[in-house]
Structure 1
Amino acid sequence: TGYTVAAQWEDEVICAGGGDAQKHFEEVIALRWDGESISQRSLPALPQPRAFASGAIVETTLYVAGGLETPDDTVASRNFWALNLAVPGAQWQILEPVPGAPRHSAVTGASDGAFYLFSGTALELDTAGATSYEFLTDAYRYHPSHGWERLHDLPYPAAAAPSPAIAVGPSHLLVLGGNTGADVDRVQELGDLHPGFSRNVLAYHIITDTWAHLGTLPMGQVTVPTVQQGGHIFIPSGEIRPGVRTAAVWQASPSGAVPPFGTINYVVVAAYFLVLAGMGLYFWNRGKSDTDYFLARRRIPWWAAGISIFGTQLSAITFMAIPAKAYATDWVYFLGQIAILLVAPIVVYLYLPFFRRLQITTAYEYLEQRFSVAVRLFGSLAFVLLQLGRMGVVIFLPALALSAVTGFNLYLAILLMGLLSTFYTALGGMEAVIWSDVMQVIVLLGGALLSLIIIVLNIEGGASGLIEIATSENKFHMLTWSWDATTTAVWVVLGGSIFSNLIPYTADQTVVQRYLTTKTEKLAARSVWTNAALTIPGGLLFFSLGTALFVFYQQHAGALEPSLSTDAIFPLFIVQQLPQGISGLLIAGIFAAAMSSLDSSLNSAAAALVCDFYKRFKPHSTASIRLRLAKWLTVGLGVLATAIGLLMATIEIASLFDFFLELLGLLGSSLAGLFALGIFTRRAHSTGALIGACTSAIVLYLVSVFTAIHFFLYASIGILTCFVVGYIMSHLLPIHRPQLNALTIYTLGDRLPNNEQHDAD
C-alpha cells in the first residue's frame, strides 16, 4: 500500500493505514530489520481506514491526524487518534479533532513533548460537482496537558511535504519543500513540463512561533516519509511532480553557520586573559601561611567580598542559562532571585556569628566542635567531591557553547579556562581570587547591560515595542497560583528557593570562606548584604535580557541557528550581532563567569583538604609546609578539573556524569541540614546528625526518582529531613554530648575567644 503514516519507534518503523486506488486500510504494523531480513508484527488497527493521513511519535505515543477514509471521499477528515506504544495491549484513543478545515496530506512533527501539524490539503466540491483542492497554510500545536493551540501560519502552503518534519536542535522543526498548490489546475496542460514541487526549506521556531526560509533542496519530493538516523536526514523516493516518482534517495546533515570570530575579538580575549594572569603574579607570595593564603590575611574590603560572593554564585552556566530561560519561557523563576532578601538576614544574624567567632578557616570545623570529627570529615569530603565534579561541568558546558558559536576549538577553550584559573589561583590564593572576581563581575554585568541596550535599539519600537510585544506574548508572567507541588506555583518557587539559597550561604565553603576574609563580623555582614543587593538588579538585568532576546529573534527569525542549544542564544547574539571588539569583550565575560566559579572552587577545595584533613591529623605541621601543600593541591585540583572537562568533551559520558553529580548534589541539602541541626538544637549529637544526613540523601533520591514533585522543593525536603530525623534519632539514641558553649543559638554568648571579641561588638 501507499500513502501510509510511517514513523520511527526505537528499532522499528510503524506503518499505519495507507491505501491503493480501490481501498484504504486500517491495519497497523511494525517492521524491524535485523541485518538480514525484515520481521513484522501487528499492532491495534486504526479506528477507521485512513490513507493520506499524517502522524508523528511524541515520546511514547503515536498520533495520527486527518486523511481520507475511502478513495472516493470528497471531504477529508479531522480525526485525531493516539496509541501509546510503550503500554502492552493499549488501544487507540479518539482525541479532540484537529482544528480548522478537514484535511489530508498535512505535515506533522514532534518537539518538546508536543505534536505539531502544518498545512495540508482540504477537499471540496465545486458548483459543477467536481472535486477542488484548497492548499492550507494554518498551523497547530497539540499538547497532552492542554489540547490544541493555533500557531502562526506558514508563509505559503507545504502540503504533502516529507513528514514528519525534521527536528533540529531543541526548538526547530524543518518543513522540506511540499506542494504549494501552484499549477494545480494546469497539471494536464503542463504534463512533463510541470516544474515540480517546492524546494524551499522552512524552519519553524517553537519558542518565538516564527517561520524563516532556511535554504533550498536539490529536488522537491512529496508524499514521502523522512528518516533520521545517525545524525543524518534521509528522504527516500517520493513524487517529484504529479504522478511521477523518483528512485533517488537524498541524505542531508544539519550544520551550523556562524560568522568568524575575528582577529580583533581574539586580541581582546587574549588581553583579558593576560590581565588575569597578571593578577596572579601581583598577589604572588603575599601570604606567609596557609591561613593567609585561604583568608587573604582577613583584609578584604566588605564590598569586594560581597561582589566575590555574587561572582562565585554566578557561573557561566547561569550567565547563559538565566537569559535563555526567560527567552524560552517567562519570569516565573525570577521569584527565586527575590529569595536572597529573605535568606540574607537569616545568614547574618543566625549563622555568621558562628563562622566568625570560632577562629575557623573552613565551615566544617564548626561541625567537629559541635558534633565530632566524623561529621566534619563527612561534610568536608562531600563538599570536595561535589566541587571537583562541578568544576569539570563549569569548564565543559561554557566551552561547548562558545565553541559552537565562535568556532573556537573546544579543547583549547577548556585548557585555557582550566589552566589559566589554576595559574592565578595557585599563585595569588584567595586574594587573587576575590579581586579577579570583582573584575569579572564588572565585565559580566557591564556586558549584559550593554547587550540589553543594543538589543533594544535594534527592536522595532524600541523599549516600548519590546514591552508591548513581550506583554502580548505573556513573557512577563511571574506568579502562578496553585497548590500543586509539581508546578512552578508561587509557594513552590519562592519557598523552595529560600531553602535552596540556604545551602550555599550556610554550608558551602566557597561562600563561607568569603565571610572570613574581612576584618570583623560586622564587615562580613555587610558583604552578605552587598551580595543580596547585587542579586536583585542582576536578576532583573538577566531576565530582561532574555525577554529582549525573544523579541529580537521573533523579529529576526532568519538569524536563528537551528542546531544550537537554547542555552547558547545569548552567545549567538553576541557573535552575530555585535561589532568586533565588543563581542570579544562579552565572550571574554562568559569565560570570566566560568573562571570566577572555577577559581573559587579550587581555592575552597584546597582549603578543605588542607585544614580538614592534613592539618587536622598533623596539627604540629608548620605554616610554610601547609602553604606549599595548599598551592600544590590547587594545581592538582585544577589539572584534574581540566582533565574531567576534556574527558567530557572526548567521551560520551555526559549522562553518566550528570548522574554522578545528582547523587553528590543530594548531599548538599544534608550539609545544610547538619548546620541547621547544630545551630538550632541542643540535643542533637554526632550519631543522630549522621543518620539524619544519610536519611536525607536517601529520601531525596527516592523523591526525585519516584515522584513528580518540582525540583525547587528538593532542597527543602532534604534539609528538613536531615533536621527532623537527626533530632529524633538524637532523642532515641542518647549519648554523652560535648560542651555546647558558643555552638548553638542558645549558648552563643557563653564563650568567645579573646582575639575575636571585637567581631561580636
Structure 2
Amino acid sequence: MSALTVADYVIFSLMLCVSGAIGVYHAIRRKNQQTTSEFLLANQSISTFPIAISLLVSFLSAVAILGIPSEVYTYGLSYILISFAFTILISISAFLYVPVFYKMKILSTNEYLERRFSPGIRFMGSILFIMTYTMYLSIALFAPAVALDAVSDLPIIASVVANGFICVFYTSLGGFRAVIWTDVFQGFVILVGMITVFVTGTIEVNGFGNVWRINKEMKRLNVFDFNPDPTVRSTFWTVIVGGVFSYLFPWSVSQLSVQRFLASKSLRDAKKAILLGIPATIFIAIVCCFDGLVIFAVYHNCDLFRDKKITRNDQILPYFVVDKLGHLTGLPGLFIASLFSGSLSTVSSGINSLSVVILEDIVKKIRKNIPDSEATSISRLIGVGYGILITLGAIFLNFVKVPLLIQLTASLFNLSAGPLLGLFTLGMLSRKATWKGAYIGSIFSFIVVGWLYIGSRFYPPVVNKPPTSIEGCSFLNGTNTTLGINSSLKNSTISYRDPLARFYGLSFYYYGAVGMLVTIFVGYVFSVILAKFDGPQEPVDKDLLFKFPNIFTTPIHDRYSVSQEIGNGNVVTSKL
C-alpha cells in the first residue's frame, strides 16, 4: 500500500531538517563553550519545563506510539492501567532516587556503584547498561521503519539508515542541549499526530459513544481483571505491579533520566521536572490507548491482520492514517513525522547517555587525565560509532520475526535492566550490602531472567485474546459470514500446564520485578553471610543511601512544624 504524496514527504523531511537545524544552532552558539560539562550536561542550566518534556519524550518512543494502540487493538484496554503504575514509579523516583544522585554531582550513574561497592561493580553496571540500551535503541530505531514500510515504497533499511544518520548528526553536533530542545519540538509533533488520529477515528464511527459500544460488544473493555495468576498476560495486578518494576529503571537510575536530573538548576527543579511527568504520561497513555480503541472500532467488522491488509499488528496505526487520512494532503506526512519524532528523541537521548557511560566508565579508566577538549571530541566519536552500531542492530531486526513491540521491548529491556535496577536499589537500601553480595546477586539475577526469557520462547504462555471478526471483509463474497468470527478465548480451556511451563509462562511485565527482587534478596543474603568471614566493614556514606520521607523517620511531635522569619534574621519555629 503506497499512499504517501509529495506533500507528505515534504512535511516529513521538514521535521528531520528542523531536528538537524537545532543541533547546528546549538553547535554554533556554543562553539567556544564546548566543555565536557556543557556537551554532556548543558552546565546544569536547563529549566524545569524542557527537562520535564525531554524526560517524557525520551521514553515516549516510536515503540510506545505504535505499540500502545496495537496492544489495545489486539488485547483490549487493560494496558491503560499503566497510568497508575507511572504515578507510583515516578513518585518513588522523585523522592528516593533523585536526591541521592543529585547530591553526588556525577556524570555517569555508574560512579555511584564504584563509590558504594567497588570499581568492578561499576564496570559490570556499565556493561549491563550498554547491553540494555543497545537492544532498546535498536528496537526504537526499527519501529518507525516498520510503520513507513506499511504505507510507502521506502525500504525499511533506507528509513532506518536515514533516521539513524539524523540522530547521530544533531546529537554529535549540539550535545545534550540540542537533545533537550529537539525533544521539546518533537514532543509537540507527537502530540499533534496522536490527537489527530483520535479525532479522525471518532468522527469516522459517528462519535465516541459508538467507539465505546463496539469495543464493549467485542470484549475489549475488561480493564479490572483481578485474576492473581501471574501467567495471565494482562491483568490488573500484572500491568500495575509489573508495570512499576518494568518502567522504574528508565525513570530512576537510567543514565538517560539521571542526566536530566543533573542538568536541572537545583534539586527542587529536578523533582518538579520528574513529577510533571505524572500528568503528562497519564494523558499520553490515555490518548494512545484510546487511539487503539478508535482504530478497532473503525475496522471491527474486518480485522486488518486476518484480511492481510497488514503483516503485523504494529502496523495498524500507520495503515489507519493512510487509509482514513490519505485524502487530506499532508496529514499522513504529519503522522509519519510524529512517529519518527518519537524515535529520534529516544535514540538521540540514548546515544548521548551511552557516550557519557563509555567515556566516564571505560575510556577514562584506561586513559586517565584526558584534557577536557579531547574528552569532548572522544564523546562525539563514541556517539557516531554507537549510532552506527544501533543502526546495524535495527537492520538485523528486519530479518527476524519479532513479537508485538510492547512485549518485545519489555522482555529484552528488563533482561538486563531488572538486575541493574536491583544493584542500585540494594546499595541505596541497605548499609549491610557488600560488593561481594552485589556481584553474586546481580549475576544470579541476570541468569534467572535470561533463563526465563529463553524458556518462554520454547514454552510460550497461554494468551487469551478478545474476539475479532471478518464478517465485513470483501473477500467473503457472500459466504456464510458466521464463519467470520474468531475468538482466542478458547485458549482458556487449557486447565493444566506442568510447573516448568507455568514458570516460563510468567507475564513479560514481571521480568523487571524478578530481576530487581532476585538481585536484592540474593545480594543481601550473601552480603550478610560473607561479612561474617570478612570482618568489620567500612562505614557507608549516608549520602549513598535512601533518605526516606520524614513521615517515616521524624518523631511524631516534630513532624508538623514550620519556621517563620520575623525580622532581623530571627527565626521562630512553631508547631502546626
Q: TM-score range by the shorter chain?
A: 0.7 to 0.9
Shift of 1:313: 0.9
- Cα deviation for residue 661 of structure 1 reads 10
Asked whether the equivalents of residues 506 and 675 of structure 1 are also in contact (C-alpha less than 8 Å), the reply is: no
Instruction: Please give the per-residue CA displacement for 1:583-640, whole angstroms capped at 9, x wherever unaligned.
Output: 1011111111111111011000001011112234444211111000011111111122
Name the SS for the 1:432 alignment partner.
Answer: helix
Q: Give the TM-score, by structure 1 length.
A: 0.61
Post-superposition CA distance 1:364-402 (Å, at most 9, x none): 111111111111111112111222232222222321231
Residue 328 of structure 1 corresponds to: 74
Gaps of 5+ in 1: 1-257, 750-761
Residue deviations 1:722-751, cap 9 Å, x none?
A: 0011111111111364442211136999xx
| Alpha-carbon distance in 1 for matches of 2:92, 2:410 | 28
Which deviates the most, 265-274 or 739-748?
Answer: 739-748
Q: How does 1:26-65 map to 2 (within 5 A)?
A: none
Alpha carbons of structure 1 residues 738 and 609: separation in structure 2 relative to 1, 3 Å: farther
Aligned position for 1:667: 416
**In 2 relative to 1, CA 673–449 (structure 1 residues): closer, same or farther, beyond 3 Å?**
same
Structure 2 match to 1:731? 528
SS in 2 for 1:554: coil
Question: Is structure 2 residue 387 aligned with structure 1 residue 638?
Answer: yes
CA contact (8 A) 1:370 1:738 kept: no
SS at match of 1:414: helix
What one-letter code is carried by the residue in structure 2 that aligns with 1:462? G
Partner residue in 1 for 2:540: 740
CA–CA separation in structure 1 for the residues paired with 2:53 and 2:167: 18
**Contact 2:223 2:235 survives alignment (8 Å):** no
| 2:106 is equivalent to residue 360 of structure 1 | yes
Q: Which residue of 2 aligns with 1:281?
A: 24
**What is the number of equivalent residue pairs in this alignment?**
488
- More RCO (CA 8 Å, sep 6+): 2
Q: How far apart, in 1, do the equivalents of 2:94 and 2:39 lie? A: 25
Residues 1:526 and 2:275 are matched in the alignment: no
- The C-alpha deviation readout for 1:219-245, integer Å capped at 9, x for no partner, is xxxxxxxxxxxxxxxxxxxxxxxxxxx
| Corresponding residue for residue 577 of structure 1 | 324
Give the secondary-structure state (helix, strand or coil) at the position aligned to 2:263.
coil
Tell me the CA shift for residue 573 of structure 1. 1.1
Q: Alignment partner for residue 252 of structure 2, among 506, 509, 522?
A: 506
Question: Which digits, 9 at most, give the CA deviation of each residue in 1:465-485, with x for residues without a partner?
Answer: 222222332322211122212
Match of residue 444 from structure 1: 190
Number of the residue aligned with 1:468: 213
1:310 counterpart residue number: 56
Partners in 2 of 1:645 and 1:498 — Cα distance? Answer: 27
> Partners of 2:310 and 2:196 in 1: how far apart?
26
2:309 aligns to what? 562
Whether 1:625 aligns to 2:426 is no
Change (3 A) 1:509 1:569: same
Contact 2:410 2:508 in 1 (8 A): no
Mapping of residues 57-76 of structure 1, within 5 Å: none
Structure 1 residues 306 and 458 mapped into 2: Cα distance closer, same or farther (>3 Å)? same
2:470 is aligned to none
Per-residue deviation, residues 311-332 of structure 1 (Å, max 9, x unmatched): 1111112111101111122111
Give secondary structure in 2 for the equivalent of 1:733: helix
> Does the C-alpha gap of structure 1 residues 676 and 652 become closer, same or farther in structure 2, counting only changes over 3 Å?
closer
Shift of 1:280: 0.7
Is the Cα–Cα contact under 8 Å of residues 414 and 515 in structure 2 kept in the other structure? no
Q: Does the 8 Å contact 2:304/2:316 carry over to 1?
A: no
Are residues 350 and 394 of structure 1, via their aligned partners in 2, closer, same or farther at CA, if it must alter by over 3 Å? same
- Give the superposition deviation at 1:261: 1.1
Higher Rg: 1
Preserved CA contact (<8 Å) 1:315 1:593: yes
Report the AA paired with residue 87 of structure 2: L
> How far apart are residue 503 of structure 1 and its match?
1.6
- Distance in 2, matches of 1:716 and 1:342, equals 14
Which residue in 1 is equivalent to 2:15? 272
Q: CA RMSD in A?
A: 2.4
**Residue type at the aligned position of 2:18:** V
Partner SS state of residue 631, structure 1: helix
- Aligned 8 A contact 2:150 2:318 in 1: no
Unaligned runs of 5+ in 2: 456-499, 551-576
The answer to which structure has the higher helix fraction is 2
- Aligned residue for 1:283, secondary structure, equals helix
| Aligned residue runs from structure 1 range 95-494, under 5 A | 258-284=1-27, 286=30, 287-459=33-205, 461-487=206-232, 488-494=234-240
Q: Is the 8 A contact 2:69 2:289 kept in 1?
A: yes
Q: 1:404 to 1:715 in 2, by over 3 A?
A: same
8 Å CA contact retained: 2:93, 2:252: yes
Please point out which of 498, 514, 517 is paired with 1:717: 514
CA 1:642–1:355 in structure 2 vs 1: closer, same or farther (change >3 Å)? same
Higher relative strand content: 1
Return the match for 1:685 from 413, 434, 437.
434
The one-letter code of the counterpart of 1:414 is V
Q: State the SS of the aligned residue for 1:362.
A: coil
Say whether the 8 Å CA contact 1:390–1:661 is kept in structure 2. no
String of CA shifts for 1:134-165, please: whole Å, max 9, x gaps: xxxxxxxxxxxxxxxxxxxxxxxxxxxxxxxx
By how many angstroms is 1:646 displaced? 3.1
CA offset digits 1:331-350 (Å, max 9, x no partner): 11221232111112211111
SS of the aligned residue for 2:546 comes to coil
Q: Report the AA paired with residue 3 of structure 2.
A: P
Distance (whole Å) between structure 2 residues aligned to residue 486 and residue 454 of structure 1? 37
CA deviation profile, 1:430-458 (whole Å, cap 9, x unmatched): 11111111111111111110111111111
Structure 1 pair 302–273 and aligned structure 2 pair: CA distance change class (3 A):
same
Cα–Cα, structure 1 residues 611 and 739, in superposed 2: closer, same or farther, change >3 Å?
A: farther
Tell me which amino acid in the other structure corresponds to 1:733: L
Q: Per-residue CA shift, 1:176-213, capped at 9, x if unaligned?
A: xxxxxxxxxxxxxxxxxxxxxxxxxxxxxxxxxxxxxx
